[in-house]
Structure formats: C-alpha cells, structure tokens
Structure 1
Amino acid sequence: MHETTLWYEQPAANGNTALPVGNGRLGALVFGGIEHERIQLNEESLPSLGDLFIEQVLPGPSKNYRRALDLNAAVASTAFTAKSTRFTRDVFSSAPDNVIIVRFHTDTPGSLNLKISLTWGEGEDATECEIKAVGRDSLALRGQIEREGTAEGMHFACFVRARVEGGLVKATDNTIQIVDATLVTLFLTAATSGQGRDPEAALATLEAAFHRPYNELLARHQAEHQRLFRRVELSLPTANPKVPTDQRLTLHPNDPGLAALYFHYGRYLLITRSRPSGLPPNLQGLMHYWPAEVTSLSDCHEALFDSIESTIGGIRPLDAACLCQHLFEHWRFAPEKQKHLRRIYPTLKGISESLLTGPMPGASMDLQITRECWENTLALAQMLSVDDAFQSELERALEKLSPPHISHAYAFYPGNAITLRQNPEQAAALKKTLDTNLSRAWLLCLAARFEDSEAVQEHLSVLLTQGNGNFGATAGIAECLLQSHAAELHLLPALPPDWKSGSITGLRARGGITVSISWEDGKLTRATLICANTLKVPLRVQGSAETKLVTLPAGKTVVITGAVADR
C-alpha cells in the first residue's frame, strides 16, 4: 500500500487531533500523551462512554517522540525514548474479537511502571455509576443513564483487564497498578442494554480475547480490516513523505500524496465506524456514506440499511425519502443482488405512499428528493412486476410534479436527475447560481460532476487545510476519477492538474463493474474493467465528445489503453 500513515511529533492537543480506532461498535480516540495518556472511549449506542487514563513513570525526560496511525494496519501507536529506553504503545479495536487492545512494550526489561484508571464520561447524566477493582488485574464500570422511551434507563458496562509479563500487578478501588513490567496488554470491552442486549455479556467477550496470544489477536484484527481496506488503493506522487503530516498540511498543501492519504483516511474512518449488524454513526450524517459504494465498502452500508428499516416510520417522510436513496444506489452498484430489491421495496413503497398523501413539497430540494423517491419506487415495482395500480398512481403523481429546479444542488449530486450532458442548460444554470454556502466537501463532489478539474483541486486544497469533510472528500476524490451516474462509464472525468501521474485500483461503478485506472502526464494509459455479468456500457474518457460501446463479458477483464478503441 502507498502512503497510508499519518504521523506527528507531538501528542494531540484535543479530540480533533487524537487518532481514531474502531471496529464499528467499540471506538477510541488516542491522544498519545507521554507520561499522561488519555484514551477516550465510545460504544455505538453510548458515544461518550468514558476515558481510560494511563499514568506512566519514566526514568528521565523523553525525546524522539512519534505518534502515528497506520491506516493499513489499523493501529494507533505512540513511541518515545527516555534515557536509553524506547517505549511504545499500540492501540487497536478488533472486530473479530470485539475488544480494544492497548499494548505496552519496551526494549529494557522491567521498565514499565503504569497506573491505569477508568472514568465515566457522561457525568451527571448517569443515574448511578460504579467503578471498582475486580480481582488483582481488572476494573469494572457499571451504571445506567436515563434514555427517552425506556422505563429504567439504559444500563451499561465496561471492563478492563491487564495481562502483565515480567512484573507485578494489583487492582484497587478504580485503578490498576503495574510495577517493573516488560510487556503489558490491556483488554477493554463494553456494552449497553440498547437493542435488548445484556451489557454483562461484554465480560465473556473480554475473557475469550484475554486467553488469545497477542500476535493472534493482532493478526485476526488486521486480516478483517484489510479485507475491506485493501480493496481500493490510490497511488499519487508525493514529495514530502518524511515530513510529519501536520507540517505537510501547512507547508505543502498541494502535495498530491496528501490527497491520497486523505482518501485512504476517509475509507478507514468508514470501516471503523460502520459495520454490518451495528448502528450507523448517525442518521443525520449521510455524507458518511457517500463513498461507500464507489470505494468498494458496500459492506459498511449495511448498518445504515438496518437502521433505516427499523426507524423509518418514526421520522419525517422527506427525511426518510432522502435516506432511501442509499437503498436504491446500493442495488445500482450491485445489480446481481436481486434479494436486495425485494428487501427494500416495502420500505420505498411505504415512504412513497406517505409522500403521496402528504402536502405537496414546496422547496426545490424537497421536490427533487420526492421525485427521486417516486422514480426509484416505480422502477423497483416494474422490475419486480408488482403493484400495477400503484405504479399507475406514481406515474400520474410524477407527471404533476414540477421538473427539477436549478436552485438546489441535490439533483446533481448525490442525485442524478440533472446531469452534465443530458441536461446541459440546467447544469449550466446550476453552476452559475451554485450556493457557495454548501459544505466544502459537497462543493468538491459537485465540481467533479461538473468535470471542473481546477475547482476540484481548489476545493481539495481547502479541505486538506481545514482538516474536515473526510467522508465527502473521499467521495469527491473517487468522483473525479470515475463516474457512472449518467448511464455511462466515464474514466478520469475531472483529474486535478497537479495529479500528473498515478493509479487507482478497485473502484466500483454502477452496473457492478470493478474499475482500475492508471495515467501518465495527465492522460489515461491503462484501465481494466471487470463485471460479474455480461454487460454493454458506453465508455467515455476524460470528457471526450463521444462514447464507445464496450462489451464486458461475464467475469472477463477488459483492458482499455489510451484511446477507447484500443482494448
């Protein structure tokens, strides 16, 4: 993998610069303190679970500090030297074992002296909370907080256990004291009574992990993470890989290598925050999921789908309709998933019925969302050959609905009711009147759809400097390299001018196509296309005036070199 490590020469000043780890259910922010470390904990149904504090006694002043997040390994590390001893802490959150691991090691035997404490993060919201030592090496945090809709509130539990080699360990009150150790491994699990679960089950989870060797835990964690992370790789030239990440952002914000790192970081964050059978980050942050399909992380979409189906009746129909776009887009990227169509049709039908019986939307974005929901529902009904009368009702409603209006960008991205070539006048008008108060990440995605390479580079530079918009930016970077929303496959539609050479592998296009692309001197040199089913698709390269129809035989790789005609 190319350039997948963020690194710094000082601890994090706050939560915005702390390094995140997560498995979709358990997460942590690692601050990287030297003698005073803080690891902020969260559980999917309890975002502010608490903090793990670590006091470390050192033999002298520290030097040669390095704090890093390896996106490929999914490990946050902190390392420094005191006198002649090198101290290292590694933190990861394992999906297979459902546990957070904190590993301390040193090159001088018997030099680890630690005091571990656990604190509750919700403060006065807890109606009761208890932290106590369990046995000689463990801490247990238990409590409950008031939650609307529950009679007794939500119960929670968090457990920490230390495995120590070459030293002494003793747990008292709310701390674990470790003296003269060579290796220390902390195991942390947590759970709540949300979704009808038993928080005490986390204790059995901890015990199962505790008896696995560390190298096995790390290997299991990395195998599952890399199964998702390594599906896509973006490689861009970099001039400053030996400069700390924060300094690069200040001194060299236009370094293409930073954009690649940014792209990988967005995918990493989605993997850490959203896994099947879990809860999505939140239903408001839909930009979280913009890169899911195109960057080959459709598995991470599943948590959103489950949440939509379980909460759809309790939210405003227009908000539900916006959510439903994700359900339909998932099928467009994987049309072989016929079961998905049958799964989502009742949800889309229910939302469409609510929109039909409710007041006619007035705002342009509301109109665009309504139209999109009805069109998607109608397409599903037709594909499944069901509900003829309802199909007719939707067709009549669509005829009465105003056409897409230019005053809001939703129909251009993430929607596709307006496209650059099928609706050139509306697209041109939208670009001229574009609301610059939209988020910078959204503006990046829109610039990619406009095939405006200069604007893409400008928005990316600002986003890198600001350090936000990770998910939307990842989607925008993918969008400038590959587009498939306009019933065609478009390679390198908005390649930034500074990205003279590079490659990307494993992107996904609608129709179920996996795409890899290479370019030199700003021009396509080679692309490979592979699809599970036989498909004919119009192919466009770098804004060419014409498309060429390309046949993709099922399971066979088709190679595009230079001009579309060379295959």
Structure 2
Amino acid sequence: MIAKYLLGIALCICSLTYGNKPSKQWITWSALPATCWEDAFVTGNGQQGTMVWGSTQKERITCVHEELFIRGWNKHLPTVAQTAALLPKIRQLIRDGRNNEADSLITSEAERQLQKMGATQRWPLIPHPAFDLCIKYLDNSQVLSHSYRRQLNMESGEVTIVNNGRKEEIFSDRIHNVNVIHLKADKKEKLQIRLNLEETPGRKGIHFEHNLDSTFQTINFSTQQGWMTCHADYRYDYGGYDGIAKVTHQGGNMTSNGHELYITNADEVLILIRIVPRDGKLIPSNISAIQKELLGLPTNYQQLLQPHKEVHGEMFRRMQLDLGQADGWENTPIEQMLFDIHQKGITPLFMEQIHAMGRYLLISSCGKYPPPLQGIWGGGWKPAWIGGFVWDSNINLAISAAAMSNLPECAESYCKYVEHLLPGWHLNATNYLGCRGFLVAHYNDPTNGYLTHFGQSFPWMCWAGGAGGNIRPFYEYAMLMGDDIMLKKRVLPLYREMANFYEDFLVMEKDSLYHILPSISPENAAYGTNTWLSRDATMDVAIARDVFGILLELGKKFNLPEKDLKEWKHYLTHLPAYRINEDGALAEWIDPSYLDVYNHRHLSHLYPVFPGSQIRKDKGEPQLRDAAKKALDKRFEFDTSSAHGLIHVALQAARLGDLNKIKTNLDRFSRRHYVYNSLVTSHDPEHQVYNLDAVLSLPRLFMEMLVYTEPGKIELLPAWPKEYADGKVNGIRLYGGHILNMKWEKGQLTEAGIQAGKNEFLNIVYQGKTKKIYLKEKEVYHIKF
C-alpha cells in the first residue's frame, strides 16, 4: 500500500538542512607544491581570479580576468555576412543530394564577405592571462618542509600555503573586486622577498590563425614605492587593460629597484591586485583612478576576508552533497585521493569533493559571462579550441547545475549574457537566413554574438536549432525558481521570437510536414559524407518540438489568445516524426538517406532525453524510449575519450534509468587521469587539455541521480546505485521553486523534506509508487517512509 510506503506528510517548523556550519569537510589539500599551472588551486569572484603555483622559493600567481581576449579585428565591427539570397539554391542542392556543393556555396560566399569587412579569421578570439605576480623568497631556509601544505577552502574561497610556519593566503574578493595576497612570516624568520609583475610566459607563434607575437601594440610594467602596474594596449582591437598592485607591509623595509620591489625583515605583506579592461583605443589609462580606490580599502587581511567569506560561503552552503566523508577531507591529500580512484574507480570521497568543486568553480567563474571552456582561468596563451564560448553542448553542460544547485546568480550570469547577445543573434538570423528570431554563433565574441566561425564542412550558419536549445536554460531556471514573472516577462518573449524564426525558416513539402532544411547535427557528419550539412537532423527537429511545446505550456498558463495556441499546435503536429533506424536506434537524421555514425562524442540526437525532457524511462512512446536506449547503447559502446562526453552519456542514462552506464562511465572517468591536482578536469585522458566541462556538469549528474524534476512531478532516487555511498543532500531546487532535502541508506530513502516555493499539487514518485500532495507556499513538508 502507498500509505505504508509513504506514512504521511506532516508540517514541521524546521527544514532538513545539512552542512550549514563551517567545516574542514570543504577543504581539499596537498602536501606538494603545484609545479605547473594546471595543478594550481584557483580563486575567482566571477570577474577576476588567480592560479597559485610554483616552487617553495618562487611562487607564481597568474592573474586572470574574464574580459581579456586576443582578437583579430575591432570587436565593434558588425561582421555578419549576407547569404539569405542563396537559401533557395542551397535547399535545392541538398534535395538533390549535392550537399558538398551547398556547403561550399554558402561558406565561400560568407568567407569572401567577411574578409572584405576585415574579419579575417574564423576563430574569433583567444582568452589570455593578464600577467603573473612573482614572489621570490630571498632566504635559503624556506625549502620544502615536512610541514608543507597547500589547500583550497571551497567554503571561503581561500587558497592557503604553509611552509615552515610561513603562510600565504590568497582569495578573490567579491566585495571590493580585488585579488588579495597575504604573506605572513613565521615566528623565527622575517620575510625577505622580491616582488614583480611580468607577462605570463608562452606568448609566441601562431595559434588558430592568431599571431601571438603581435598581440599588443604596447605592454609595459612599472614599479614605484608601494605599487606595481601593468598597462597593455591591443594591436588589432580597440582597448586593452590595466593591472595595479598595491603593496603594504608591517615591519621591515621596502625599496624599489627597476621593475622589482624588495621587502626585507617584514612580519606581513599585503598585496591587492585589480585588473581593469579598457574598451576603446583613445581611452586613457585608468591607473591613477584605480590607485585612489585601492588606497581606500582596508589594509588588514581579515577585514577584507570576512565580508567576502560571508557572501561566498552563503552561496556555497545553499546546496551540499554529504556522503559522510569529513574525515577523508581532513586526512587524505588530493594526490592520494586521485591515486585511489585511478586504482579502484570512483570513491565516496572523490564524489563528495568533485561535486563541491564543481559548484565552487561555478560560483567563482560566473560573472559578466558564464564559463567558457577554461572558465576564467588559464596559465597559457594557446588554449585548445581557443578556450572559447561553445554553444553546441559545452556552455549548456557548464551551467547545467546552476539553478538546480540553488545558484540563481550563476543562472543569471548565463541569462544576462544571452540577452546581451540577442542583437547579434538577430542580425545573424536576418543576414544569413533571411529570418526573424535568432541564429546562434557556435563560437562568438562575447561582446557581440556575431557568427564568424564556420568553414568548409562545418557551415554553422545552417544550424537552425542552436538558439532554441540555448534559451532552454531560461525556462529551466524560471521553473526551478518558481518564478512566474520571469516566465512571462523574459522566457515567453524569447520563445515567441523562436516561433517567428520557425515560421520564416521551416519548409512545408509534399508530405504536408514542415522540414528543417538546411540542418546540422553538431558535430557529426552522416556516413559517407564529408560535410555536416544535412536536412532534418534529429536535434534540430527535437528543439523545434521543444520550442512549440513550451509555448503551448506557457500559453495555457498565461491564458494567451487561442489563435496563438492553435498556430503553435499546428507547427508542433506537422513536424517530421522521429525515425528509428535499422539497428532499432533513434536515428541522428530523420531522412533515411543519412546513415548513422555512432563513434562520436556528441549526443545531439538524444536532445529529447537530456537536456530536453520529451523522452524518459516512463515518458514518451514506448518504441521511442526503446530506440533512445538503443541509440545511447551505441554511443556508450564507442566509449568516448572526451570527459564531457562520458558525463553527457551518464546524464542521459540517468533519465533512461540505465544505472549500469552511469556506474561504468563514472568508473571510466575516475581511472583515466582526467583530474588535475587542482581538482580541475581535462578534456582528454592523461591530463590533456585543461577544460571545465566535466567538473562543472558532474554536480548536475549527481543531482539527476538523486531526483528527477518536471512540472508537477518529482521522482526520488531514480538512478542512485544501491552500492554507492549512503548520504544526505540539502538545497536541491525542484520545478515550482521547491527545495528538497533528503537522506538515504543502502539506496533506500530514509527521510525527505520539501520546502514549498508555491501553492501547487506535486506528484512524488518513489520506487514505482506515486503520492499526490498539495503544497502551500513557504511551508515545510516532512516525508517519512
């Protein structure tokens, strides 16, 4: 009986909150220095941050800012080619099976126009570090000691390094927008140090069409008593940046010599660093104004830390996964933890740490922009794939945990960024395809959104589904916050514009169905072809279904005119049906002339499973559910080397109830050396290519294993293997704005509490049984089993 399984729902005055007190549980540590920047613990306040690495005698603190980019041309140029007039011919060529000719026609014409405009490169920009703060210890007593320890406190955002009693403390202040570095002598020895700012090494040669040797018109470093500065002007783009370091000390003396500061016999040194981008070639240096602001800041480290710690810590504690590993955090260095997973596979300690790290990195790297491939960090000048903002899965995965893990600030970072890009996306749609609405640029300059990245075989201007897929996080964010105002004022208008796009772009053919022509399935080409250009890619059709389905949902919710609802339903019901191929798998292209290629890291055609929600283990037509499982089987058998590809498979497996794939891919991920000693992930095995996609999306995977949520329904423990650790979780956001806290043992739910975000009925599913309850806003419901 359901009554026996779910004993009842009782109001209680206290919610189930766990982990709200400061704890050593959230401090990861190492007994060894970070000898390369990839192993550096990172700090960040969303805008700027640091990477702390080097030897015990010479520390390098690489300073970064989210708005520093090498560009090939002035970012203010409206560089969008006009190819809409070619669209009828492109369509006919594709109908005739001459896809390569269609590809060449549109990409060569767009290339010709952009070259004429001065947009000479197809890889638009490269993020880069600002500079390094170098700290040289001049005494010989500070060799690596048995007491050496470097640590990252995720709850406060502090990196601390202790050696022989000497201490370094670093954080990126959210209140005053500075990087703070505090050096403190031990009881026996005074500080004898040399400080200087210098360019981060490695800016040399050609990288993705950019000549790094000619990045700057000028870059100058200077030093005067108590100050170090950097002033940089870009060569090809208007603007540059200033970096200012204010240095104060307690005890001892300070002298300047050339570009260096020497501090001798000091008890403490405090360094405040602010990086300020300049947009405009004629804008003068901001150094004097910034110096004046820095002079007004506290000179006491704790006075700076405490207000930052309160803000950062409150965000970090809102949602936590606790698998009972507090002792492991305190007693296990990061190298030992990673050795253990390489040998044994995933462990509870690693799950707890990597989940916390994913949220820490999200908090620390969401500012004006959401995280690109490397977040705001990077200690080199040649990031893979230009370290860019990539819209066909990477940004979606990177921000997938934001709203669900109770970080609306991070979700806002994404949404405001997209809203900022909309004028550029409008121009893309108008110029490239002759349509209203939006067309996403696969890689774009974050200041404008113009589509300039494409080439022969990858004509991104033909990716119709990009915009619809990348506004879905708006819908999910509003639903998880229970924010009907956002749904009506921000989400609904975006989806209306997407309906306009489809009204202009869809092509009705003789079968009386609307087809997507041209189309792309990122980043895959059908068997026997050498271009991504196609028709009716399953992802594109799935996104169109998603758009019209959400419009109908919102239309009913907000009592929109019947005429609009009828029109949206017409389009929804006249899109092509998904195809099941000869292997019984959901096909990647609906047109049977396009043959599936399974050995690929992208899972575009499984969009209806995740991030969409059209197909699930208990949702959608049975034959489509089976076909989706078969398609996932094929990708799983391929066993991608891409870390984010492994996590993506596991996310879709959680929706389809396939625990074996989750366990296997987490085991693959754990054993292949994807995780640096910084707890940041690489894209490929054996620490190849610094990349945050995996670490940022793992928290979403763990949450999907613990709870599935959709409008009016949740399922508890849908995909948590019983052999995985017992634990508790607090602060997961559910659709409707509700908050879930939960405990489990041996895979069985023992306790759950829901704090209601609004008045509504909610179906709670657990182990195949359902209980419907009515929630009242702000009240807390304690569910016992």
TM over 0.5: yes
- Is 1:234 aligned to residue 440 of structure 2? no
After superposition, the C-alpha distances for 1:361-414 in whole angstroms (9 at most, x for unaligned) are 421111112221232234334444456554443222212112455342211011
Instruction: Name the aligned partner's letter for residue 303 of structure 2.
Output: E
Choose from 141, 149, 156 the match for 1:66. Answer: 149
User: Are 1:354 and 2:501 an aligned pair?
Assistant: yes
Residue pairs, 1:374-413, within 5 angstroms: 374-386=548-560, 389-404=563-578, 406-407=586-587, 408-413=605-610
Q: Tell whether 2:261 aligns with 1:176.
A: yes
Match of 1:250 in 2: 339
Verify: 1:426 aligned to 2:624, yes or no: yes
Q: Which amino acid in the other structure matches residue 130 of structure 1?
A: N
Q: Which residue in the other structure is 1:325 paired with? A: 472
Q: Which of 97, 100, 111 is residue 190 of structure 2 equivalent to?
A: 111
The two structures, once aligned, show a CA RMSD in angstroms of 2.3
Q: Does 1:213 align with 2:300?
A: yes
Give the residue type in structure 2 aligned to 1:52: L
- Closer, same or farther in 2 for the Cα pair 1:486/1:195, shift >3 Å? farther
Which of these residues, 154, 167, 171, is aligned with residue 88 of structure 1?
A: 167
Instruction: Single out whichever of 421-430 and 387-396 deviates more from structure 2.
Output: 387-396
Compute the displacement of 1:164 (Å): 0.3
Cα distance, 1:439 vs structure 2 = 0.5
CA displacement, residues 205-238 of structure 1 (integer Å, 9 cap, x when unaligned): 43333x3532111101100101210001211134
Which structure would you say has the larger RCO, counting Cα contacts within 8 Å and 6 or more residues apart? 2
- After superposition, the C-alpha distances for 1:298-350 in whole angstroms (9 at most, x for unaligned) are 21111111111121343435322221001111111122341453123333322
Structure-2 separation of matches of 1:490 and 1:108: 57
Match of residue 543, structure 2, among 369, 389, 397: 369
Change (3 A) 1:402 1:519: same
SS of the residue 2:39 aligns to:
coil
Shift in Å at residue 270 of structure 1? Answer: 0.3
Given the alignment of the two structures, is residue 8 of structure 1 paired with residue 30 of structure 2, yes or no? yes
Distance 1:13 1:165, change over 3 A: same
Report the Cα distance in structure 2 between the residues aligned to 1:419 and 1:192, rounded to whole angstroms.
46
| 1:427 partner amino acid | R
Equivalent residue of 1:326, what SS?
helix
Q: Aligned with 1:402: secondary structure? A: coil
Q: Measure, in 2, the Cα distance between the counterparts of 1:417 and 1:521.
A: 31
> 8 Å contact 2:37–2:53 — kept in the other structure?
yes
- Counterpart of 2:542 in structure 1: which amino acid? Q
Residue 223 of structure 2 corresponds to 133
**Aligned partners of 1:355 and 1:17: how far apart in 2?**
46
The answer to whether structure 1 residue 160 and structure 2 residue 241 are counterparts is no
Alignment check: 8 A CA contact 1:26 1:100 kept: yes
What's the counterpart of residue 386 of structure 2? none
Alignment of 1:293-308 (within 5 A): 293-308=403-418
| Residue pair 1:190, 1:202 contacting (<8 A) in 2 also | no
Matches of 2:130 and 2:319 in 1, distance apart? 33
Q: 1:356 to 1:198 in 2, by over 3 A?
A: farther
Q: 1:63 is paired with a residue of what secondary structure?
A: coil
Q: Compared with structure 1, are the counterparts of its residues 297 and 97 closer, same or farther at alpha carbon in structure 2 (3 Å cutoff)? A: same
Tell whether the 8 Å contact from 1:371 to 1:401 is kept in structure 2 after alignment: yes
Deviations 1:416-459, CA, capped at 9 Å, x for gaps = 01121022432222122212347011122122222333432332
CA distance, structure 2, for counterparts of residue 5 and residue 195 of structure 1: 42
Please, what TM-score do these two structures have when normalized by structure 1? 0.91
Distance in 1 (alpha carbons) for counterparts of 2:630 and 2:708: 22
- Which moved further from structure 2: 262-271 or 55-64? 55-64
Change in 2 beyond 3 A, CA 1:167/1:146? same
Letter in 1 for 2:333: P
Structure 2 residue runs without a partner (length 5+) = 1-18, 69-126, 204-211, 373-388, 426-438, 441-464, 507-515, 520-535, 580-585, 588-604, 676-680, 682-693
C-alpha distance in 2, partners of 1:354/1:228?
38
Residue 485 of structure 2 is aligned to residue 338 of structure 1: yes
**Structure 1 unaligned blocks of 5 or more:** 563-567
Shift of 1:199: 6.7
- Identify if the C-alpha distance between structure 1 residues 553 and 382 changes in structure 2 by more than 3 Å, giving closer, same or farther: closer
Q: 1:133 to 1:331 in 2, by over 3 A?
A: same
Q: Report which of the two has the higher share of strand.
A: 1
Check if 1:102 corresponds to 2:181.
yes
Query: TM (normalized to structure 2)?
Result: 0.66
Match for 2:741: what amino acid? Answer: S
| Residue 449 (str. 1) matches residue 655 (str. 2) | yes
CA contact (8 A) 1:416 1:486 kept: no
Task: Please name the residue that 1:490 is paired with.
Answer: 715
Task: State which structure, 1 or 2, has the greater radius of gyration over its C-alpha atoms.
Answer: 2
* 8 Å CA contact retained: 1:24, 1:273: yes
Is the CA contact 2:239–2:280 (under 8 Å) kept in the aligned structure 1? no
Contact 1:100 1:188 in 2 (8 A): yes
Check conservation: 1:10, 1:67, Cα contact below 8 A: yes
The answer to whether 1:55 aligns with 2:136 is yes
Query: How far apart, CA to CA, are the structure 1 residues paired with 2:735 and 2:177?
Result: 33
> Larger deviation: 154-163 or 169-178?
169-178
1:120–1:487: structure 2 CA closer, same or farther, 3 Å change rule?
same
Q: Which range is displaced more, 371-380 or 412-421?
A: 371-380
User: Percent identity, aligned pairs only?
Assistant: 21
Residue 86 of structure 2: aligned partner: none
